[in-house]
Amino acid sequence: MRALRVLLIVVVILGGLFVIADRVAVNFAENEAADRVRASEGLHQNPDVSIKGFPFLTQLAGGRFDDVQIGIDNYDLPPADGKSSAGRSQPMRIDRLTAEMHGVSFSGDYSAATAQRADGTAHISYAELLKAARTQPVQLVPGLVSAQVVGLSDGGNGKIKLDIKASVRGVPLSRHFPVMSSVKVQGETVSVTAVGLPKLPVPAGEKEVRSVTDFSEQLAGLPAGLKLDKIEAVSDGVDISVTGKDVRLSR
């Protein structure tokens, strides 16, 4: 009986040491992965990387992780082809990009990793999305009426509210004109479309008014393999679902 107790004690001690070694190894791997993702994607800071599953060391030996979660703050997207529908030249910032990677395998020298599939969410604030809107005056009736978008906010029920400023003969009107708009994604493009047009004091053609109220933006530059899926207007911006296959975590 004494020998059995000694054996059990040894097993418990070894098991505890294995757990400690496993956790130390996973922490090291997470930090190393964060460094490589930052370098690969040109990030300002290391992302949050969490390797799920236990034990880590057996997953490492097998060359494949079941579940890796990544969180990136302040992810900048450059204008597609150097321009946007509103002439945007500065990056559009994703406040927070989170992704859950499944079936992550890596090369023999650990220099590259690929996720079999991934899904997550990208959040863009209304202030950032405003960069894609017509924020400079647009002539609706030449020499008479101009208009521009001066703000975006939550319109409720999945809608975005545009705040339109109009000027008559160069004089800004004291009141602004709210416009409720729908938002959708198709491919890499986010589109904002007015549900109803503003009632301006001077009539203008629908085409001309929509040249101000309706806009789209191509969001290229996500990590390789991730694509836009769905979009939802929320209180402080838009949440875009992202999904992908064969997503590269480093290159």
Domain boundaries, the chain: 64-251
Percent residues over pLDDT 90 in the chain: 27
> For residue 160, what pLDDT is reported?
95
Quick one: how many helices (H) and strands (E) in the chain? 4, 13
Q: Which residues of the chain have pLDDT under 70?
A: 1-26, 28-30, 33, 40-41, 53-54, 56-57, 59, 61-63, 79-89, 107-112, 249-251
> For residue 9, what pLDDT is reported?
38
> For residue 88, what pLDDT is reported?
61
> For residue 125, what pLDDT is reported?
95
Contacts of 188 (CB under 8 A, 6+ apart): 80, 218, 219, 220, 227, 228
What CA–CA distance (Å, rounded) separates 78 from 34? 22
pTM: 0.80
Q: How many CB atoms lie within 10 A of CB 108?
A: 7
